[in-house]
Amino acid sequence: MLALTELHVVREPDPDKFREAETATYPDWESVYQDNVVGIYQLAFRRVGNAADAEDLAEDVLMQTLKTLRLPAPVHNVRSYLVKTARTVLADHWRRHYAAKDAATELEQLPQGALIAPPSTDASERAARLLALLPEHFSRILELRFLRGFTVREAADELGVTESNARVMQFRALRKAAELEMEVLS
Amino acid sequence: MTDKSADRVARFVDDLLRGRRPRRFSASQEEAEAMKVAASLVSARTGADLPDKAALDRIHSKLSAALDESPTVERRFTRRVMLRTFGTAAAAVVVGVALDEVVTRQGKSPGAGGSPSTVLMPDAGAWRPVAAVTQLPAGHAITVSTGSVDAVIVNDGGAISAVSGVCTHLGCKLQPDEASQKLNCPCHQTAFGFSGKVLYYRLKTAPANLPQIPSRVNDGQIELFVV
């Protein structure tokens, strides 16, 4: 009986060792790259909407992070640093190329969990929810343009309006969607 | 103002929908808000926000050029700085340390996540079919067992390869995670890439990379060289 008790005591986890074991580690820059490059690219793409900028931004984020970090390093530290760097890099992109100070400030508030990118289907569901909240004529033009790939001219024909009106409608629809995104979805 | 804004945003949207880098311009706050929503809507199309292999290769090669060829120690402690600060003797000592560090870094890289990958080459091995090629579309991974060897077979963009399906730490069977291209160890939250390289670990020391298993495609069958 005594032996069993001793055995039980020996197997009790040492709280310090347990905490230490909770920290997963990246051994080198290749590991950081392999485990995060797709997530960072997606994070960037969702905020710039095109592959060329997303590629440049993902490279910037990784380069700045990896040149600064000393590895091996805990996974959560590295990811936290990657998100901090991504905030700065994305905000700087909007400031430099579009002089968009408010958009940049908002990007600086990216949540810490942003790097755990949801699968693409989540982005589709989010878009579908957003379109469903818009008035019919606004959701219709955004659906034609973004989901069905219509040109402005084709969308205008489909909706029975002039091209100029279709462009204005698209702009107002995007503005309304931005408001709704802030109010309802965030 | 609305017309001009509408035109500028429409041009931005056109560029995004055609897969082009948008032209830069000074946007008002309203325009920028609309543009950000446009970017998120473009991303909603299935697979639009996933990088292609060429993009990943370019990012990797730029990182590799910058990070593999410029060891931190050399940049931080140049001989000239040490001479100016501490004199010749100190500089000689530090350069010696720096060189040692550089050699150590190079010795550890790129297999710093454990020992470099080995190839599992059994003495009495033979090519054995384990799955049909049609069972393994690009981007997928499957686990197979020959009785003696557990393996994970991977189709990376048409290139088929195989690694051991057993964690090099304590032998737990690895679980493929196709979405994030990882092989996860269920026991100690260690993960390997599809190439067998350690991605991260929750251990005091890095486990070894996974051994490679010779593989080939023969008459529509994936074969492994195993016992």
Residues 6+ apart with CB under 8 A from A7: none
DSSP B3-38: HHHHHHHHHHHHHHHTTPPPPP----HHHHHHHHHH
Q: Does A16 touch chain B (CB under 8 A)?
A: no
- Are B62 and B38 part of one and the same domain? no
Residues of chain B with pLDDT under 50: 70-112
Residue A52: band (very low, low, confident or very high) from pLDDT cuts 50, 70, 90: very high
- Are B66 and B149 part of one and the same domain? no
Q: How many CB atoms lie within 10 A of CB B86?
A: 12
- Are B64 and B38 part of one and the same domain? no
Q: Is A72's CB within 8 Å of B49's CB?
A: no
| Assigned domain for B181 exists | yes
pLDDT of residue B68: 86
User: Using one digit for the tens of pLDDT, what is the confidence trace for A3-34?
Assistant: 333 333 333 444 444 444 357 899 999 999 99
Q: Name the phi and psi angles at B215, rounded to 5.
A: -140, 160
Q: Which two tokens stand for residue A73?
A: 């390093």
- Which is more confident, A51 or A122? A51
- Are B76 and B154 part of one and the same domain? no
pLDDT of residue B19: 93
- Are B216 and B132 part of one and the same domain? yes
Using CA atoms, how far apart are residues B203 and B208, in angstroms rounded to an integer? 12
- Are B30 and B69 part of one and the same domain? no
- Are B19 and B66 part of one and the same domain? no
Q: Does A100 touch chain B (CB under 8 A)?
A: yes
Average pLDDT of the residues of chain A: 83
- Are B162 and B196 part of one and the same domain? yes
- Are B161 and B71 part of one and the same domain? no
Residue A115 has pLDDT above 70, yes or no: no
- Are B212 and B152 part of one and the same domain? yes
User: Residue A28: its chain B contacts at CB < 8 A?
Assistant: 108-110, 112-113
Cis peptide before A72 (omega within 30 of 0): yes
- Domain residue limits at B142: 126-226
Domain count of chain B?
Answer: 3
Single pTM value for the model: 0.66
| Assigned domain for B99 exists | yes
Best residue of B12, B18, B21 to probe chain A, by most A CBs closer than 10 Å: B21
Using CA atoms, how far apart are residues A153 and A164, in angstroms rounded to an integer? 9
| Assigned domain for B87 exists | yes
| Assigned domain for B158 exists | yes
- Are B149 and B211 part of one and the same domain? yes
- Are B29 and B98 part of one and the same domain? no
Strand order in the sheet with B198-200: B175-177, B182-184, B191-193, B198-200
- ipTM (interface pTM): 0.83
pLDDT of residue B84: 36
pLDDT of residue B227: 84
Give the start-to-end residue ranges of the domains of chain A.
Answer: 23-115, 120-185
pLDDT of residue B111: 40
| Assigned domain for B114 exists | no
Best residue of A34, A143, A150, A170 to probe chain B, by most B CBs closer than 10 Å: A34
pLDDT of residue A113: 66
- Computed from CA positions of residues A88, A71, B74, B62, in that sequence, does the dihedral angle turn out positive or negative? negative
- Computed from CA positions of residues B215, B219, B220, B221, in that sequence, does the dihedral angle turn out positive or negative? negative
The 8-class DSSP code of residue B50 comes to S
pLDDT of residue B180: 78
Residue A108 has pLDDT above 90, yes or no: no
Residue A97 has pLDDT above 80, yes or no: yes
pLDDT of residue A170: 98
| Assigned domain for B115 exists | no
pLDDT of residue B92: 39
| Assigned domain for B113 exists | no
- Which is more confident, B111 or A147? A147
Domain A120-185 has CATH 1.10.10.10: yes
